[in-house]
Amino acid sequence: MPESRAVSSRVERILRCHAFLRCPLCRGALAPTGQSLRCDAGHNWDIAARGYVNFVNRRSGGAPYDADSFAHRRRFMQAGYYRHIEEALLHALAQAAPGPVVDAGCGEGWFAHRMVAAGAQVMALDYAKEAVQRAAGLNRSVCWLVGDIANLPLRDQCAGAVVNAFAPANYAEFARVLRPGGLLVKVIPGEGHLQELRRAARGQLREEAYSAQPVMEHFARHFGDVTRCTARTTLPLTPEALDDLLRMTPLLFGADREQIDRAGLTQITIEAEVLTGHHHSI
């Protein structure tokens, strides 16, 4: 595809979802003007040539994620280690209300990509521009956004579902953008997640044990009755997959990877709790 046509298609992708967006500065509606979105107050948001809009006016600092960790995460996901979690997530979305799905905290975009492949209309957002830049090249049907989950650049009651997978949450914002009866799907690590790696890195981790209970209780306080599904499997690790895992998992941020005994890491347990709840307007 010629470059001009490729850029045009990426712009069109954003324009198709502009009716669901709002200005994060003044909360006004956004209208397309050429290759940008503009509100009545004059705030202008350019559509990048790669096919995303950056709604964050400052650089994200201090985060341990970088382009390298996102590349390793993408390879690990493509290798199928999270396929059972993808299937559980897609099964949960069968309960979604009509309307687009918001992937809040999309990272490098793999879950959003899989949701589109299953037929969903998806708007995917992350605070890390490096992640969204990588994600934008994965699937041309997703509306990719750089934004803050504490101030989503989305209109009230625009979404049929919000997916929040392995990412921080802002339940007030999720409730605001969900339609009445809309679905929140939150994916969190299970208590056995990466248990082999936790043992191998013992002594370097701030928390060697993990409990999902506090997150589930917090979820229930905001979204009422919680449906819980555990997705768990243990798979053999190839040397390439082990290297990707060590370089992408936040479990090891701040740890010395060279001190980890790789010889004992021949398999890995991938476990997640998929939590679902519906938003009911008061």
Is the pLDDT reported for residue 94 higher than 70? yes
pLDDT computed for residue 208 by the predictor: 61
User: What confidence category does residue 108 fall into, taking pLDDT thresholds of 50, 70 and 90?
Assistant: very high
pLDDT value at residue 220: 87
Q: What would the two tokens of residue 210 be?
A: 């993990």
What pLDDT score was predicted for residue 204?
79
Tens digit of pLDDT for each residue in 156-203? Answer: 999 999 999 999 999 999 999 999 999 999 999 999 999 999 999 887
Q: How far apart are CA 151 and CA 171, in angstroms?
A: 11
* Spatial separation of the C-alpha atoms in residues 259 and 257, rounded to whole Å: 5
The yes-or-no verdict on residue 85 having pLDDT over 70 is yes
Residue 62 has pLDDT above 60, yes or no: no
pLDDT of residue 246: 93
Token readout for 46 is: 């350019």
Helices (H) then strands (E): counts for the chain: 9, 11
Span 228-241, average pLDDT: 97
- pTM score of the predicted model: 0.92
Contact by Cβ (8 Å): 210, 262: no
Q: Name the architecture of domain 51-278.
A: 3-Layer(aba) Sandwich (3.40)
Angle, CA of 166, 256 and 260, to the nearest 5°:
90
Q: How does DSSP classify residue 97?
A: P
Q: Is 113 exposed, middle or buried (0-12, 13-18, 19+ CB in 10 A)?
A: buried
